[in-house]
Amino acid sequence: MMPKTLLQVLRRRWYAAVAVLLIGFAGLGAIRSLDPVYWTQAEVSFVAPSGEPAYWIPGGDVASLVPFAALVERRVNDNSDSVDLVLSRGTLYGAGVKHGYSVTLPNTGGQWTKSFSRPVLAVQVVDSSAERVNEVLSAVIKRIQEESAALQKETDVHGALITTVTTPSSPEIIFGGGTPTDRIKGASAWLALAGAAAVAVAATVERQIVRRSVLRRGAGQ
C-alpha cells in the first residue's frame, strides 16, 4: 500500500487506529512501572564442633547435622516473610518473584526421589536494589545463626557448639534488568508495535468495508 493511500485509509478509519493505540498506551503503563531487579544467593553450612563442615569430615556421619539444619530452617521460616516456594535448583528471580527471600534445605535427590544429605541452608534474596538485597541477606543469615544458637541453648548444649559458615563470604549480587534505559527501550519497541498494529487494523477495516460495499453493489445489479 502506497504512503499516500495509507494516509487516506488512516483518515477514513481513524477510529480503528485510535482504539488500537489506546490499548497500546494502556499496556505501556506496565512497562514504565517495571522496577529494577537484583538477586543473590548464599549457602549457610552447619559446622561440627571439630571446626570443619560436617560433610567434609572423613568417615563421619554426614547426615548427623541434617535434622538440625532442617529444624533451623523451620524456625527461620515460621512467622516470617520468606517466600513459600519449593525450589530445588531454580531461582526466585526465575520463578517471577521480584521482592522477597527464601531459606531452603537443598534437595540433592533426583526428580522423583528427595534426598537431604547436606547440613546446609540455601538463602536467596531478590529485590529492587543491590543495597536492599545485601541488607536482607545479612539479616536472614543473622537470623539463621540466632536460631541455631537458640536451639542448642534450649537443648542444654554447652561447650562444643555447632556453628555456621557462609559461602561465599561476599555473595555476588546479579542485576536482572529494569533500568531507566531498559524501560525506554521497552517502551519504544512497544509503541512501534502498537503503531504498526494500528495501521494494520485500519487497513483491515478498510478492506472489509470495501468488500461489503462491492458485494452489496453486485447483489443490487
Instruction: Check residue 58 and give its pLDDT.
Output: 43
Instruction: Check residue 206 and give its pLDDT.
Output: 78
85 in the same domain as 12: no
Instruction: Check residue 26 and give its pLDDT.
Output: 72
Q: Measure the CA–CA gap between 77 and 82, rounded to whole angstroms.
A: 6
* Domain assignment of residue 108, given as a range: 38-175
159 in the same domain as 67: yes
183 in the same domain as 171: no
12 in the same domain as 106: no
Conformational region of residue 109, where left means phi above 0, alpha means psi within -120 to 50, and beta covers everything else = beta
Last residue of a domain, one of 175, 193, 211: 175
Backbone angles phi, psi at 173, to 5 degrees: -100, 120
DSSP 65: G
Instruction: Check residue 16 and give its pLDDT.
Output: 81
Instruction: Check residue 147 and give its pLDDT.
Output: 92
29 in the same domain as 49: no
Extract the C-alpha cell encoding 87. Answer: 525450589
Question: How many domains, the chain?
Answer: 2
Instruction: Check residue 201 and give its pLDDT.
Output: 82
55 in the same domain as 131: yes
DSSP 102: E
| Mean pLDDT, the chain cut into blocks of 10 residues (221 residues total) | 70 80 70 71 86 49 75 87 64 77 81 75 90 93 93 77 87 72 63 79 81 70 57
Instruction: Check residue 124 and give its pLDDT.
Output: 92
140 in the same domain as 78: yes
Instruction: Check residue 134 and give its pLDDT.
Output: 93
Kindly provide the residue ranges of all beta strands, DSSP E only, lying in the chain, ordered along the sequence: 38-47, 100-104, 120-127, 163-167, 174-175
Instruction: Check residue 88 and give its pLDDT.
Output: 54
Extract the C-alpha cell encoding 56. Answer: 567434609
140 in the same domain as 87: yes
DSSP annotation string for 17-64 = HHHHHHHHHHHHHHHHTPPP-EEEEEEEEEE-TTSSBGGGSTTS-GGG
Question: Is 178 within 8 Å of 40 (Cβ atoms)?
Answer: no
Instruction: Check residue 202 and give its pLDDT.
Output: 79
